C-alpha cells in the first residue's frame, strides 16, 4: 500500500464526521424551536397525602413532530395498598388552557384536567364508575414537581 492510500484511509473517519456535522447539525434542536418544552411536562406528585384510590403522581410527556404538531401523554398513578397502582397512559389534549386526559380503567372512567398555577399544577379529577350503583366523584389536588 502506498503512502497516499494510507493517508486517505486515515482521513475517512474525519471526512464522514465532518459530513455528518455539516449537514445534520442545523437539524439538531429543530423540534425545540418549533415546539419548546412546555412547563407542564415532567414528573409531578401530590403535595399532601392522598386517600386510598386518589391520584398521587403524574408523568406528563410532551413530544413534537417534525411538522410542529404537539403530542401529549399522561401516566397517572393512584394510592393503592401496599404501593401505588397505575391508571395507565392516556393521550391528552389542550382545551381552553387545560391539559385533559381520559383513563379507561376496569372500574371507572377517570378524567384529569390539569392547569398550571405558578410552580404547581392543579389537577381536577372526575371519576365516573362503570356500574350505576356508585356515584361519580370529583376532587382537586395541588401537585408539585417530583424531586
Please give the pLDDT value at position 37.
87
Indicate where the chain has its CATH 2.40.128 domain(s): 37-145
* Architecture, CATH, for domain 37-145: Beta Barrel (2.40)
Q: 45: Cβ–Cβ under 8 A, 6 or more apart, which residues?
A: 56, 57, 58, 143, 144, 145, 146
With CA atoms as reference, report the closest residue to 29 among 75, 58, 66, 60: 66
Q: CB-based burial of residue 52 (10 Å sphere; 0-12 exposed, 13-18 middle, 19+ buried)?
A: exposed
pTM recorded for the entire structure: 0.73
Please give the pLDDT value at position 133.
87
Mean per-residue pLDDT pooled into runs of 10, the chain (147 residues): 55 51 46 74 92 92 89 95 92 94 95 95 96 92 89
With CA atoms as reference, report the closest residue to 108 among 84, 141, 138: 138
Cβ pair 78, 53 in contact under 8 A: yes
- C-alpha–C-alpha distance, residues 37 and 40, integer Å: 9
- C-alpha–C-alpha distance, residues 102 and 87, integer Å: 10
Amino acid at each position: 500500500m502506498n503512502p497516499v492510500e494510507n493517508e486517505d484511509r486515515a482521513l475517512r473517519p474525519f471526512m464522514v464526521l465532518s459530513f455528518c456535522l455539516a449537514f445534520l447539525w442545523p437539524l439538531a434542536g429543530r423540534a425545540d424551536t418549533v415546539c419548546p418544552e412546555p412547563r407542564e411536562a415532567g414528573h409531578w406528585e401530590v403535595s399532601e397525602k392522598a386517600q386510598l384510590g386518589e391520584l398521587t403522581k403524574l408523568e406528563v410527556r410532551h413530544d413534537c413532530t417534525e411538522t410542529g404538531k404537539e403530542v401529549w401523554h399522561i401516566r397517572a398513578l393512584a394510592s393503592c395498598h401496599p404501593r401505588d397502582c397505575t391508571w395507565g397512559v392516556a393521550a391528552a389534549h389542550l382545551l381552553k388552557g387545560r391539559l385533559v386526559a381520559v383513563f379507561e380503567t376496569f372500574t371507572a372512567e377517570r378524567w384529569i384536567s390539569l392547569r398550571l398555577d405558578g410552580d404547581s399544577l392543579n389537577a381536577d379529577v372526575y371519576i365516573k364508575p362503570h356500574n350505576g350503583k356508585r356515584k361519580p366523584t370529583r376532587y382537586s389536588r395541588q401537585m408539585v414537581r417530583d424531586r
